[in-house]
Amino acid sequence: MNILLSTLLVVLFASICASSTLLADSNYGASVWNNTIDLGLINAGGLVKIKLANIAIPYPITTSSPVLLIEAMHVVLINQTSQQPINRDAVIMSNLQVFTQGDLVLPIMTFDTSNFVNPNWFPSGYLLEARDPINLVINLDLLEDTEVSLVYYMNCIVPSTEPNYFPLSLYYSVAPKNSRFSTTGTGGFYTKTFMFNWKWADSAIMSIQGVASPGIQSLILADYNTNQVYCKSVGLYDQSGHLQSMAPCMSNTVLTFRQSQQFKLSALYDNSEALVSVQANMLFYYGLSNETFTATFN
């Protein structure tokens, strides 16, 4: 099932990207560009951290256009033995962070265990700025020794092709840091709720991804006062009951968060057994809203 799902997502990704970037594509040819990196043998039984400096990007950055604009990115871990995506059931933890210009503190994009298979792409007009060189950091904890390759797909343009784009930032943690919790195991569902305020100016929000642990049923992000639901991400399980991914919320929708708006994130966990150190979080990308952008840059 995971293979089918990944294949489907790659196809979906390719078609989405192809349709959204026809104009920009004339700059460098193919709409979706891919590259493969051999990560070698990853041994089971512990966290393995791999840093990849100066990863290849779709075209050479020239000094006249030092900024690369990422429209979409998708990463797939390939099992070299089967030449198929690695079996998610053998993955305890997987995480990939994209860093720009040698910065290893704040990633510009991140993929986590529960959303690793989800392509990341942005609606037209919104782009993620990256500066050469781009670095990747991969964390992997596997249940069996595996020869792994990383395949990454990217869609990028240069600013001259879209001068009025909205630059995006990654917002990682809706719940407070270190906010893992345990469930009681008393049957039914266990609900945990976190609140947060949007501290920034009115913003455009997109590409919301659920971050959760096995046992999750759904994550819901809603306005605290009106209960309007902004994102519901459900856990997708295979036939043997292993969490494969959190379904993306509203793939191509741009939402608006207002300054000081109050939100709540509710996690619904299967409470048939007590779970320890589970998480409930969301990550997404934000840019200035339409109105703010115009006011600031006119």
Ligand X SMILES: *[C@@H]1O[C@H](CO)[C@@H](O)[C@H](O)[C@H]1NC(C)=O
**Which residues are CB-neighbours of 146 under 8 A, at least 6 positions away?**
41, 42, 44, 79, 80, 81, 86, 90
Tokens at 10, concatenated: 């790659």
Which neighbouring-strand residues pair with 215? none
Query: At CA 109, angle to CA 222 and CA 161, rounded to 5?
Result: 105
Q: Which of 129, 132, 141, 144 binds ligand X (CB under 6 A)?
A: 144
Q: Is 150 or 268 the residue whose CB approaches ligand X more closely?
A: 150
Q: Is 146 or 244 the residue whose CB approaches ligand X more closely?
A: 146
Q: Which of 3, 18, 28, 34 binds ligand X (CB under 6 A)?
A: 34
Cα separation, 118 vs 102, whole angstroms? 25
Q: Is 144 or 162 the residue whose CB approaches ligand X more closely?
A: 144
Q: Is 242 or 264 the residue whose CB approaches ligand X more closely?
A: 242
Task: Determine if 87 is a binding residue for ligand X (CB under 6 A).
Answer: yes
Task: Determine if 204 is a binding residue for ligand X (CB under 6 A).
Answer: yes
Query: In the complex, what is the shortest distance from the CB of residue 296 to ligand X, in angstroms, rounded to a whole number?
Result: 14
The structure tokens 């990422």 sit at: 70
Query: In the complex, what is the shortest distance from the CB of residue 169 to ligand X, in angstroms, rounded to a whole number?
Result: 16
Give the interface segment with ligand X, choosing from 80-88, 101-109, 184-192, 233-241 (CB under 6 A): 80-88
Q: Which of 94, 97, 118, 146 binds ligand X (CB under 6 A)?
A: 146
User: 213, 293 in Cβ contact below 8 A?
Assistant: no
Query: In the complex, what is the shortest distance from the CB of residue 25 to ligand X, in angstroms, rounded to a whole number?
Result: 16
Task: Determine if 90 is a binding residue for ligand X (CB under 6 A).
Answer: yes
Cα separation, 159 vs 27, whole angstroms? 12
Tokens at 135, concatenated: 């670095």
Task: Determine if 133 is a binding residue for ligand X (CB under 6 A).
Answer: no
- 221-260 residues near ligand X, rule: CB under 6 A: 254
Task: Determine if 82 is a binding residue for ligand X (CB under 6 A).
Answer: yes
What values do phi and psi take at 233, rounded to 5?
A: -120, 120
Total interface residues for ligand X by CB under 6 A: 16
Query: In the complex, what is the shortest distance from the CB of residue 58 to ligand X, in angstroms, rounded to a whole number?
Result: 11
Q: Tell me which residue of 215, 53, 56, 43 sits closest to 140, measured CA to CA.
A: 43
User: N- to C-terminal Cα distance for the chain?
Assistant: 50
Task: Determine if 7 is a binding residue for ligand X (CB under 6 A).
Answer: no
User: 271, 190 in Cβ contact below 8 A?
Assistant: yes
Which neighbouring-strand residues pair with 146? 42
Query: Given the rule CB under 6 A, which residues bind ligand X?
Result: 34-36, 79, 81-82, 86-87, 90, 125, 144, 146, 151, 204, 254, 290
